[in-house]
Amino acid sequence: MATTALICGISGQDGGYLAQLLLQQGYTVYGTSRDAQVSSFQNLGRLGIREQVQVLSMALNDFRSVLQVIDKVQPEQIYNLAGQTSVGLSFEQPVETMESITVGTLNLLEAIRFSKANIKLYNAGSSECFGNTGDRAADETTPFRPRSPYAVAKAAAFWEVANYREAYNLFACSGILFNHESPLRPQRFVTQKIVKAACRIAHGVNEKLYLGNLSVRRDWGWAPEYVQAMYRMLQQSQPDDYVIATGKTHSLEDFVAEVFSSLNLNWQDHVVTDLSLLRPTDIAESRANPSKAKQQLDWQARYQMPDIARGMIEAAEA
């Protein structure tokens, strides 16, 4: 019998690539969104797998809705990728951010505990929980210092998962993923905003690209690789939490320069700093130590920032 997986938040970037991977592994894949009848599931369509995934409506902040879907699907694995995903938007919608992430994760944990089913849970954590790492690369023992409503919510969800794992012996784990990009990123994410604007400029459109703080430093990875780490976490004999990253940090200016130079452009001729785009608080430097994932999951990032920039440009130009 094929393993049945339920992906909460399947319409996003990671949900699409994860569904593709699980289908390749012979899984039966279900996916949820708030309203599956009106959702386009555009990413599943772009990957050519829309007809292979069964979709359902589920409101993660409604415990009854979560219970009903789990009872109907009877999954052996649940991947929680749902909830608000934008750090910037979380400053404008802090209540919705907290509720969708913390209450949604808690409802999944409670539903698994309540059903007494043998279900493995993957929870999408975030490197944002660490805040500024400075020169020290964050690993699984690094304290959290969240600097946004999104990061606060993700930190709470992380500890919910850890608590249920210890208190109720659930197979529940969190992947603390650092930034990861792909052509499926929506344009509200800065990497895709940069790529799309640079491509338009390269094709002769006269415009300026407005960005905030170019000095912030991030560890950027390739999303299709990162879902492999999610999958491997649920193949382990014991649940645990893992930092998933490349281990290499670059500034946003480095990313901008890579994108524009790949299109034979000088970024300084086209980029304007816009102070209105600065966040109330931001992370200056995000640095990661993913050695535990390499040792225990046999997972290591192969794509680095320049590869990611070129991959996103190729997709945008296709």
Greatest extent of the chain over all pairs of C-alpha atoms, in Å: 60
Residues 11, 65, 126, 174: which is the catalytic one?
126
CB 6 within 8 A of CB 77: yes
Residues 30, 150, 242, 303: which is the catalytic one?
150
**How would you class 91 by CB atoms within 10 Å of its CB: exposed for 0-12, middle for 13-18, buried for 19 or more?**
middle
- CA separation for the pair 144, 152 (Å, rounded): 9
Would you state the structure tokens that stand for residue 265, as one six-digit string? Answer: 């452009």
Residues 76, 128, 181, 258: which is the catalytic one?
128
- CA separation for the pair 44, 33 (Å, rounded): 13
11 an active-site residue? Answer: no
126 an active-site residue? Answer: yes
253 an active-site residue? Answer: no
Place of tokens 């934008």: 86
CB 262 within 8 A of CB 316: no
Which of 104, 101, 75 shows the shortest CA–CA distance to 7? 75
Active site (catalytic) residues: 126, 128, 150
